């Protein structure tokens, strides 16, 4: 078709130090801020775009709108007092913070969480993963104007939040995985209600598949868009579905099994085209895998036994000198906690490795160049980033 094809020759030349030679006074370029108050941005961050016509020539990410200094706050709180804070580092999927923090503390203090608690933890992490993916799917469709998907997935997520509520006592910040174990067992009749919820989610996902993934316009906007070159994966530290969509089966659950993943049957979902469409599809299939994992966990988990290990008094809890790094596979990639203790009652240093840090900063800035400004939102969402992880 001899129709409009963008002319990429008009882009600015590079200066000697590698930066772009952009003369704003020429009127050829325009600075645009996408965010921090913008529906097309994932959370409280912003992207400073330099556009030429409809094409982005440079994008710079700006964070700091959400900076509460979690890591520093934790240095002045006792080990148990850190526990209500960590979940705030990632709102839609807080459980990984709780798990990684608890696991790091247990690792350094030599505490073993009981078997049943491990199963409970795996259950809650998979439930959180489903929540996170459901939110993502709504966001990905919504970034392209397909609002109905978000309405369905919000309903499905709401059902899952109900399960969270009856299990943990809260809908968003569950604060359930205490260092040493978990707070409580399953409530009565949970299995049955969970099964109903899973069925509803599966039927919703079938609808989503029909309306979102078999959609001419959606394909038009996403196929071939926002490709992550597999060569970038190691350079940029890309993990999780972003890496799996590029055909690399990176999955901490399989590579370094934690909790009870050794006893569960699953195969990491991978895609090949590495574009926005493939990434959405990988996440959709990963969600269905989590549904299956929850069924396996509920079938295999022990129903009696201790939920929390014998703990020293947490009011005066001191952990011997040491350092550790604990990781888990969250819905966005590898989630890790690096914890240093010095024998006192407070952590010496906590460093949170949120996958969004690499995805939303370095990777996004590279990928955003030369795309249409209408696609910025879809691209950002497709990397599945949550800003609080960037600026702990």
Partner 1 sequence: MSVRDVLSPFTAWKNLFRDPVSIPDPLNRAAAPRYRGFHQNDVEKCIGCGTCETICQNGAIDMVPVEGIETKSGDSGLRPRIDYGRCCWCALCVDVCMTKSLTMSNAYTWVENDPDLFCFTPGVDKKHWDNAELGYHCPTDRRITGQVRAHMRELEPETRIDSFVEIVQGYSVEEAILEADRCVACGLPCATAITSAAWNCSTPATRFPASAAASAPTSARTPALPATKATRSPSAG
Partner 2 sequence: MSFDWMKIPYALLTVFIVFNYGMLLGALIQKIGARAGRRHGIPIWQNYVDLIKNYGQRTSITHGVMFYLGPVFRLTGGIGLLLFVPTIYGSYMFSNLSFAGDLILALYFVFFGTLGMALGAGESGHPHAAIGITRGLSQVSVAELPFALAVFAVALQYQTLSVTDIVAAQQGGVMNWTLFTNPLAVAAAMLAFLGSMMRPPFDVVIAPQEIPIGPPTEYHSAYLALMQTNRAIFPIAKMVIYMNLFFGGATSWPEFAVKVFLLYLFSAFVGVCFPRFRVEQSIRWFLIWAVPLGVLAILWV
Nearer to partner 2, 32 or 308 (CB): 32
Q: Does 36 bind partner 2 (CB under 8 A)?
A: no
Contact 274, 227 (CB under 8 A): yes
Name the minimum Å distance from CB 157 to partner 2.
Answer: 13
Query: Which of the residues 178 through 217 are near partner 2 (CB under 8 A)?
Result: 211, 215-217
Question: Which 345-374 positions form the footprint of partner 2 (CB under 8 A)?
Answer: 372-374
> Phi and psi of 368, rounded to 5°?
-75, -15
Binders in 158-187 for partner 1, by CB under 8 A: 162, 165-170, 173, 175, 178, 183-184, 187
Among 6, 145, 302, 312, binds partner 1 (CB under 8 A): 312
Query: Which residues contact residue 255 at a Cβ distance below 8 angstroms, ignoring those fewer than 6 apart?
Result: none
The gap from C-alpha 133 to its chain's centroid, in whole angstroms, comes to 8
Q: Considering only residues 275 through 304, tell me which ones interact with partner 1, judged by CB under 8 A.
A: none
Q: From the list 91, 248, 314, 340, which residue makes contact with partner 1 (rule: CB under 8 A)?
A: 314
Shortest Cβ 366–partner 2 spacing (Å): 20
φ/ψ (deg, to 5) at 339: -125, 130
Instruction: Give φ, ψ of 106 to 5 degrees.
Output: -65, -40
Part of the chain binding partner 2 (CB under 8 A), chosen from 26-34, 185-193, 269-277, 354-362: 26-34
Burial 314-328 (b: 16+ CB within 10 A, else e): eeebebeebeeebbb
The residues in 195-254 that bind partner 1, with binding defined as CB under 8 A, are 207, 210-211, 214-216, 219-220
Report what 30 binds from partner 1, partner 2, none; CB cut-off 5-8 Å by kind.
partner 2
Q: Which residue(s) pair with 350 in the sheet?
A: 339
Cα separation, 230 vs 249, whole angstroms: 12
Structure tokens belonging to residue 22: 């952009």
Piece of the chain touching partner 1 by CB under 8 A; list 79-87, 225-233, 281-289, 356-364: 79-87
Q: How far apart are CA 169 and CA 250, in angstroms?
A: 33
The nearer residue to partner 2, 143 or 252, going by C-beta atoms, is: 143
- What Rg value do the Cα atoms of the chain yield, rounded? 22
Q: Which of 311, 340, 369, 371 contacts partner 1 by CB under 8 A?
A: 311
Candidates 46-54, 73-81, 129-137, 251-259 — which segment interacts with partner 1 by CB under 8 A? 73-81
- Do residues 119 and 306 touch, judged by C-beta distance below 8 A? no
Neighbours of 132 (CB within 10 A): 26
3-state secondary structure of 247: coil
Residues forming contacts to partner 2 in the complex (CB under 8 A) are: 1, 3-4, 30-32, 34, 38-40, 54, 141-148, 151-152, 155, 211, 215-218, 220-221, 372-378
């Amino acid at each position: 078709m001899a129709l409009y094809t963008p002319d990429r020759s008009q882009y600015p030349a590079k200066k000697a130090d590698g930066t772009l030679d952009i003369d704003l006074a020429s009127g050829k370029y325009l600075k645009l801020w996408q965010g921090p108050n913008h529906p097309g941005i994932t959370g409280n961050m912003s992207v400073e775009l330099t556009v030429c016509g409809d094409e982005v020539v440079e994008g710079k990410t700006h964070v700091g709108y959400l900076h509460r200094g979690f890591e520093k706050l934790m240095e002045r709180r006792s080990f148990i007092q850190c526990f209500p804070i960590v979940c705030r580092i990632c709102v839609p999927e807080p459980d990984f913070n709780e798990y990684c923090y608890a696991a790091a503390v247990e690792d350094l203090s030599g505490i073993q969480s009981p078997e049943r608690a491990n199963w409970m933890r795996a259950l809650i992490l998979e439930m959180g993963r489903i929540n996170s993916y459901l939110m993502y799917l709504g966001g990905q469709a919504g970034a392209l104007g397909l609002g109905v998907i978000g309405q369905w997935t919000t309903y499905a997520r709401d059902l899952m939040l109900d399960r969270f509520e009856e299990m943990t006592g809260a809908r968003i910040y569950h604060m359930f995985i205490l260092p040493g174990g978990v707070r409580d067992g399953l409530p009565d009749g949970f299995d049955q209600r969970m099964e109903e919820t899973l069925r509803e989610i599966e039927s919703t996902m079938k609808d989503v598949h029909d309306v979102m993934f078999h959609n001419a316009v959606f394909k038009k906007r996403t196929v071939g868009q926002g490709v992550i070159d597999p060569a970038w994966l190691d350079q940029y530290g890309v993990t999780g579905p972003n890496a799996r969509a590029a055909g690399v089966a990176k999955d901490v659950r399989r590579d370094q099994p934690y909790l009870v993943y050794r006893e569960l049957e699953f195969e990491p979902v991978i895609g090949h085209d590495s574009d926005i469409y493939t990434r959405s599809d990988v996440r959709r299939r990963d969600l269905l895998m989590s549904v299956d994992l929850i069924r396996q966990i509920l079938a295999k988990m022990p129903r009696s036994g201790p939920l929390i290990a014998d703990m020293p008094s947490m009011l005066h809890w001191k952990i011997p000198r040491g350092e550790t790094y604990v990781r888990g596979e969250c819905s966005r990639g590898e989630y890790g906690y690096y914890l240093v203790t010095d024998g006192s009652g407070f952590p010496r240093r906590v460093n949170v490795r949120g996958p969004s840090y690499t995805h939303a900063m370095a990777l996004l800035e590279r990928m955003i160049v030369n795309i249409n400004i209408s696609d910025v939102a879809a691209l950002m969402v497709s990397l599945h980033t949550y800003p609080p992880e960037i600026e702990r």
